[in-house]
C-alpha cells in the first residue's frame, strides 16, 4: 500500500504539495531570470568601461619625441641632385662646423651663417628661391629664413 495518494484522488494535501512545487519551480525560474539579467548588466557595464578606457588611451597624445616633422619643401631626387652639383662643384660652399645631429624641424643656431642659393640653382629649382642653406658634414641643410627652421636635408 502506498503512503502517497494518487493524483486522481485529488486530496487537499496533494493539491497543496503540487501548488508548492509549482511555486518553487516558478521561483527558481524567476531567480534564474534575475541572475541572467544581473550577469547581462554586469557584462554590459564591463564592456562599456573597457570601451571608455580604450577611447581615452587612443586619444592620449604620443610621448614619442622622435617623430619626424613634415618637410616644408618637397624636392625630388633629381632636384636634390641638381642643387648638390651646383653647391658642391660650382659654388664650393664653405662647410659650417660639425654640429650634433641636425633633423628636419630643428631650429638653426644663430651662429651658423646662412647663404642664399646660387642663381643657377634657383633658376633650375624654383622652390628654393626663398630658402637659405648651409653645408655641414657634406650635407646641404635647407633652412626656412622666416623661422630659421630646417626645411630639408640634402645628403
pLDDT digits over 134-148, tens only?
Answer: 998 889 999 998 889
> What are the sequence ranges of the domains in the chain?
7-59, 77-154
How far CA 18 is from CA of 26, 32, 88, in Å, comes to 12, 21, 105
Q: Looking at per-residue confidence, does 111 or 9 come out higher? A: 111
Q: Which residues make beta-bridge pairs with 143? A: 132, 150
- CA 75 to CA 132: how far, in whole Å? 14
DSSP 126: G
3-class DSSP state of 136:
strand
CB 94 within 8 A of CB 133: no
Among 75, 85, 58, which residue's Cα sits nearest to residue 127? 75
pLDDT at position 110, please? 85
pLDDT tens, position by position, 37-95: 777 766 666 666 666 666 666 666 655 555 555 667 888 999 999 999 998 887 777 77
The contacts of residue 111 (CB under 8 Å, 6+ apart) are: none
- Fold (CATH) for 77-154: Nuclear Transport Factor 2; Chain: A, (3.10.450)
pLDDT at position 91, please? 74
pTM (whole model) above 0.75: no
Amino acid at each position: 500500500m502506498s503512503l502517497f495518494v494518487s493524483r486522481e484522488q485529488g486530496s487537499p494535501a496533494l493539491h497543496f504539495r503540487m501548488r508548492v512545487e509549482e511555486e518553487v519551480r516558478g521561483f527558481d525560474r524567476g531567480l534564474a531570470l534575475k541572475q541572467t539579467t544581473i550577469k547581462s548588466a554586469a557584462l554590459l557595464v564591463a564592456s562599456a568601461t573597457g570601451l571608455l578606457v580604450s577611447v581615452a588611451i587612443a586619444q592620449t597624445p604620443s610621448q614619442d619625441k622622435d617623430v619626424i616633422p613634415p618637410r616644408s619643401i618637397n624636392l625630388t631626387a633629381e632636384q636634390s641632385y641638381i642643387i648638390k652639383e651646383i653647391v658642391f662643384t660650382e659654388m664650393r660652399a664653405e662647410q659650417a662646423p660639425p654640429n650634433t645631429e641636425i633633423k628636419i624641424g630643428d631650429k638653426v643656431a644663430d651662429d651658423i651663417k646662412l647663404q642664399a642659393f646660387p642663381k643657377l640653382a634657383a633658376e633650375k629649382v624654383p622652390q628654393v628661391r626663398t630658402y637659405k642653406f648651409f653645408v655641414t658634414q657634406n650635407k646641404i641643410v635647407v633652412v626656412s629664413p622666416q623661422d630659421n627652421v630646417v626645411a630639408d636635408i640634402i645628403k
